[in-house]
Homo-oligomer: A and B are copies of this chain.
Amino acid sequence: MAVEIGPSPEMYLKSLFELTRGHAPVPISALAERLGHSVVSATEMVHRLERRGLVAHEPYRGARLTSDGATHARTLLRRHRLWERFLTDELNLPWESVHDLACQLEHAVGEEVTEALDRRLGIPATCPHGNPIPRSGPTPAASARTLADMKPGEHAELEAVHPESGPVLAYLAQHGLRPGAAFSLESIEPTDGLRVIGVSSTRVAFGPELAARLRVRPASGPGRGGGARGDERRA
């Protein structure tokens, strides 16, 4: 069991999982873009994964994880997020850089280490970027609402950065924005749909694509002022 699989196929499974919205297949071009590969290469890989029974490919529509594939992807994501927690909580590495670091570590460990790590970390509920750590049992539904869905004047709190990536996290870190931060949407610029938000006396702008990657929830308290405040470790 556990089906030997290399780092590269694993990245595909993970990306596929992350890019999946609802029940729709993910266009291969989207996959390719996320991984920085050519579309042809991505198609090749999808075929390889299909032969292994991990993804189902609907021609001209996209690829979807089979349940085997989804299981595998979930454990990968689990490892990834646990490592992220380890790197921030135990090694005190910067919030915005642990994503890329964890991308290496996730392929280097099996179940043994993963579970031990989970216990060691106190069975955390989310990664440092606000995403839930998959465990046995259904994953708690993440809020579907993002910054892109908000209307000017609304107040909210950053819940998570969903498809994570180095550059995105760097941008957020640069402006002191972290899960838990309260903010308000000040305006949506007519040109390019730029979202300008106010976070503790600063203004930060986000393009529509980035905005769609910022999951939000109604501001919890009157917001204890904070910009760069932490993230919750429990659900």
User: How far, in whole Å, are A110 and B110 apart by their CA atoms in the complex?
Assistant: 20
- Name the B residues within 8 Å of A87 (CB-CB): 113, 116
* A: contact size bracket: 10 to 19
Which residues of A (82-123) have their CB < 8 Å from a CB of B? 87, 90-93, 97, 101, 104-105, 107-110, 112-113, 116-117, 120
**Interface of A, helix, strand, loop or mixed by DSSP:** helix
- Name the B residues within 8 Å of A116 (CB-CB): 87, 91-93
> Nearest Cβ distance between residue A170 and chain B, in whole angstroms?
15
In the A-B complex, the 5 residue pairs with the smallest Cβ-Cβ separation, listed nearest first, are A91-B116, A108-B108, A104-B108, A105-B108, A91-B120
B90 touches A113 (CB 8 A): no
Knowing A107-B108, A108-B107, A108-B108, say if A101 contacts B120 (CB, 8 Å).
no
> Nearest Cβ distance between residue A7 and chain B, in whole angstroms?
9
- In the complex formed, the residue of B with least CB distance to A112 is B93
Given A101-B109, A105-B109, 12 new contacts (CB under 8 A): A87-B113, A90-B120, A91-B120, A93-B113, A93-B116, A97-B112, A101-B112, A101-B113, A104-B108, A104-B109, A105-B105, A107-B108
User: How far, in whole Å, are A41 and B58 apart by their CA atoms in the complex?
Assistant: 41
- Name the B residues within 8 Å of A97 (CB-CB): 112
> Nearest Cβ distance between residue A4 and chain B, in whole angstroms?
13
- In the complex formed, the residue of B with least CB distance to A107 is B108
